[in-house]
Amino acid sequence: MIPSEPAAEHLLSDDEVLRFISHGYHLVVPTFREGFNESICESIGEAGDGTGNGILEAVPLLQDVYNHPAVRGALVSLLGADYVMNGHRHLHINSPGSRSQGWHQDGTNVRHHQIWCLLGMYYPHDVVAERGPTMIMPGTHLRNAPTDRLQTYTNIDGQIPLAVKAGTVALTHYDLWHAATLNRTEHPRYMLKFLFDRQAVPSAPSWAYDAETVDQVSARRIREQVGPQGYSSDYYKEWELRTEMWQWMLGHDSSVPAGAFKDMLS
């Protein structure tokens, strides 16, 4: 069944899209029918951890997660109405007593400052801080580091554990740094990883664009400090990269002249 287009109230606002551009993630907390998340947990337990890309066939209820209007609205807003679900998906089980992962980026880390692929992480149960939540570092989708160097990093000032409610879907830019953390409980932590791909360069906003307020919102979000205060040169570089991504999302020419951020200082 092809899902219907999300209603306007489920599309992201300018502020939410701009926050994604600067922070690299957005949390969706859909409302599911009673017992829905529990049913998925039960099905996951029956399927086990060897399903690989076949997890959607093993647990078909997962399709209802990604067809939910709130999730669809966020995906359309960030990837366009013709986005597609990628064939790669995986059930991640963080078992009791596990070791923390090293920081990493998924895939081949093709560097770009556009939004072509989103990682969707669905948590079918409450994730408390002790149950090995996924750790993310906001803003790092705009920063590059070799994988072997990322593996040497430990706690970073400003990192955020995704300690979330059952049913939460965390949408992140594919280049955002993330890692699983130590599970100190007696229960496994489930996370369903799905990928979603943009099909075309944007020609116009696909979210709830408001021409009357967008300039003020964009100026604030593009300037905001994400993470700890660092070298001013890094901060200014991020201004330019956020501006480039924002202009591209609007359907404008994405080439931003060097130093263009200075026009926003006045």
Report how far residue 266's alpha carbon sits from residue 262's, in angstroms, rounded to the nearest whole number: 8
Is it the case that residue 262 has pLDDT exceeding 50? no
Asked whether residue 126 falls in the same domain as residue 251, the answer is no
Give the DSSP per-residue string, 148-217.
Answer: HHHTT----TT-EE----TT-EEEEETT--EEE--B-SSS-EEEEEEEEE--S--SS--SB--TTTHHHH
SS3 72: helix
Q: Is residue 1 part of a domain?
A: no
Q: What backbone torsions phi and psi does residue 119 show, to the nearest 5 degrees?
A: -95, 125
Residue with tokens 């994405």, as numbered in its chain:
254
Residue ranges making up the domain that contains 186: 8-197
Q: Indicate which CATH number applies to the domain containing 167.
A: 2.60.120.620
CA-based radius of gyration for the chain: 19
Provide the number of structural domains found in the chain. 2
Q: Is residue 68 part of a domain?
A: yes
pLDDT digits (tens, 9 = 90+) for 116-171: 999 999 999 999 999 999 999 999 998 877 777 877 888 888 999 999 999 999 99
pTM: 0.90
pLDDT digits (tens, 9 = 90+) for 81-111: 999 999 999 999 999 988 888 888 886 666 6
Q: Which amino acid is at 136?
A: I
Residue 28 — very low, low, confident or very high, per pLDDT cuts 50/70/90? very high
Report how far residue 222's alpha carbon sits from residue 219's, in angstroms, rounded to the nearest whole number: 5
